[in-house]
Structure 1
Amino acid sequence: MNPFSSSLATVTALTLACASSLYATDAQAWGKTGHRITGKIAESYLSEDARAAITALLGPESLAEASTYADEMRSNPSEFWQETANPFHYVTLNEPHNYHAEDCPPQGDAMSALTEFTATLQDPQASRDEKQLALRFIVHIIGDLHQPLHVGSAALADRGGNDVKVVFFGEQSNLHRVWDSGLVDHQQLSYSEFSHWLQRKISVQQAASWVTPDPYTWISESSKLRDEVYPETDEPYLGWDYVYNYTPVMKTRLQQGGVRIAAYLNHVFAKGQS
């Protein structure tokens, strides 16, 4: 059995599991620039089958454009966007680095949403609108799970760093926001410039080593990085030293997120899968 298929079946069983959610609804991984970077990079690694299926669903809409839809719709007054979809951007782990059934709260999380949206893409009875929503959310969720602070810790209980107040280059912020957008925006590059720079530096060997459609792997990686990114003092000033130390990590996670969006969609849209 394909190990990803086994993992996906396991995740499906998690949607009814219970645990406490520690995030507020303001968490937005990578911000628009970061998400668009992962979507743009992904387009370079799509299979022909995946590319054709995506074009059939989205038409001229790129994955970079699709990647921010789940955040742009947060102000939609419908119950889905105001209630149901809020937990779909993150996971919270009870153990340090591994996702288990009890980590999924009753309202769901990024893992359960990824499973449900994948099932929608593979459901011949699902409408085009339903599949468009599913595809856009999948691209977004995979990007989310590569941002270290979107894999929260129940032990820390700090809403993925939202409660960790910092000063980033003289401006009041929090650690989560620094990782969502601060480090990325500090580069002062457009998403197209940044994605071009990052994609050019992905070697064939790196891409091959990163190609895994298994979300358990992404989560484990992010959780280990999460433990490393916290500042050493309360209410610290984060400046050039922090940028120097963690910009390489941020860049790698954006590169990996892009490669893995493609890997996941290549699997989903492989002939016989959808």
Structure 2
Amino acid sequence: MRVSIVLILVFLAVSPANAWGPVGHRVTGALAQPLLTPKTAEAVRAIIGSETLAEASTWPDEMRSDPAPFWQHTASPWHYVTVPEGKTYAEVGAPEEGDAYTALQQFARTLRDPSASLADKQLALRFTVHLVGDLHQPLHVGNGQDRGGNQVKVNFMREDTNLHSVWDSKLIERRKLSYSELAAFLARRITPELRQEWSTADPLIWMAESAEIRDTIYPEGATISWDYGYRSDPIVDQRLEQAGVRLAAYLNELFK
């Protein structure tokens, strides 16, 4: 039993954190839902029924507790990409085991394949919703040096944690808002002009933006507090807004 506990603790220590956490992912899905075209909305319903995009958005993270080899090994690298500072994704490409970008391409083929099973399409759609959110979290486009900020230890608001966790959830959760409340606040800020400006279905653009932001959010010291949150909150909000708009744009393009 003691050996099993040690192995579990080691696994948790080395496993990448979940992008945005449940609140952020659900916000992305909730923002995208009303922006789907009627044809896309019908295609989504045919795959996941009454399940909303907000519900679907967290499923891949929830399944990471499944001990099956698919979830523990095959799907694990699909939540992030690596783009070293000063490089582009086109220059470095994907590792042999794949990443979020190659997974999106694979899932797009499944969703367009009329012979694919319903179960395969459900997995592909839920993962697609999730990965669009992942790629808008700046630290899920890692620099290849610190596991997306997981190895950057910080004390945030008097709590020992790491930079990745701060961006995944702590900046969002400190506001004490439900995902529907935060989504409603952010939706009112997305003007038609911003929606048009942000409606790109190209993941390479989202990833380049995240990499650029990533290189600006590393704190100077290990203790960060209200001032860091004050500077970071507008970035978090915009990335969630953009993820919602882009998720809709991506699905609308996929099912058009």
TM interval, short-chain normalised = over 0.9
TM-score normalised per structure 1: 0.87
Which of 88, 99, 102 is the aligned partner of 2:78? 88
1:94 CA displacement: 3.6
Do residues 256 (structure 1) and 246 (structure 2) align? no
1:27 CA displacement: 2.0
Match of 2:34 in 1: 44
The residue type paired with residue 94 of structure 2 is C
Match of 1:203 in 2: 191
Do residues 266 (structure 1) and 252 (structure 2) align? yes
1:97 CA displacement: 5.0
Match of 2:177 in 1: 189
Which of 145, 152, 168 is the aligned partner of 2:156? 168
Do residues 214 (structure 1) and 223 (structure 2) align? no
Match of 1:4 in 2: none
Q: Given that residues 34 and 181 in structure 1 are in contact (C-alpha distance below 8 angstroms), is that contact kept between their aligned partners in structure 2?
A: yes
List runs of 5+ in structure 1 lacking aligned partners. Answer: 1-22
The residue type paired with residue 32 of structure 1 is P
Do residues 159 (structure 1) and 185 (structure 2) align? no
1:25 CA displacement: 2.6
The residue type paired with residue 31 of structure 1 is G
Q: Given that residues 80 and 141 in structure 2 are in contact (C-alpha distance below 8 angstroms), is that contact kept between their aligned partners in structure 1?
A: yes
Do residues 98 (structure 1) and 84 (structure 2) align? no
Q: What SS does the aligned partner of 1:107 have?
A: coil
Which of 8, 26, 46 is the aligned partner of 2:16? 26
Q: Which has the higher helix share?
A: 2
Match of 1:231 in 2: 219
What is the distance in 2 between the residues matched to 1:109 and 1:25?
15
Q: In the TM superposition, what are the counterparts of 1:68-87 in structure 2 within 5 Å?
A: 68-87=58-77
1:79 CA displacement: 1.2
What is the distance in 2 between the residues matched to 1:24 and 1:100?
27
Q: What SS does the aligned partner of 1:44 have?
A: helix
List runs of 5+ in structure 2 lacking aligned partners. Answer: 1-12
Q: What SS does the aligned partner of 2:220 have?
A: coil
Measured against aligned partners, the alpha-carbon deviations of 1:69-90 in whole angstroms (never above 9, x if no partner) come to: 0000011121110110000000
The residue type paired with residue 241 of structure 1 is D
Match of 1:11 in 2: none
Match of 2:10 in 1: none
Which of 113, 131, 151 is the aligned partner of 1:141? 131
Which of 95, 109, 116 is the aligned partner of 1:119? 109
Measured against aligned partners, the alpha-carbon deviations of 1:90-142 in whole angstroms (never above 9, x if no partner) come to: 00014535212633111100001010011000011100010000000000000
Match of 1:17 in 2: none
Measured against aligned partners, the alpha-carbon deviations of 1:5-34 in whole angstroms (never above 9, x if no partner) come to: xxxxxxxxxxxxxxxxxx943321000000
1:229 CA displacement: 0.4
Q: Given that residues 195 and 245 in structure 2 are in contact (C-alpha distance below 8 angstroms), is that contact kept between their aligned partners in structure 1?
A: yes
What is the distance in 1 between the residues matched to 2:84 and 2:29?
30
1:232 CA displacement: 1.0
Measured against aligned partners, the alpha-carbon deviations of 1:203-244 in whole angstroms (never above 9, x if no partner) come to: 1100100000000100000000000100012xx211110010
Q: Given that residues 97 and 223 in structure 1 are in contact (C-alpha distance below 8 angstroms), is that contact kept between their aligned partners in structure 2?
A: no
What is the distance in 2 between the residues matched to 1:110 and 1:257?
15
What is the distance in 1 between the residues matched to 2:85 and 2:107?
26
Which of 214, 217, 232 is the aligned partner of 1:246? 232
What is the root-mean-square deviation of aligned Cα atoms in Å?
A: 1.2
What is the distance in 2 between the residues matched to 1:247 and 1:169?
14
Q: Given that residues 57 and 127 in structure 2 are in contact (C-alpha distance below 8 angstroms), is that contact kept between their aligned partners in structure 1?
A: yes
Q: How many residues align?
A: 244
What is the distance in 1 between the residues matched to 2:92 and 2:228?
34
Indicate how the Cα distance of structure 1 residues 52 and 105 shifts in structure 2: closer, same or farther if over 3 A, else same: same
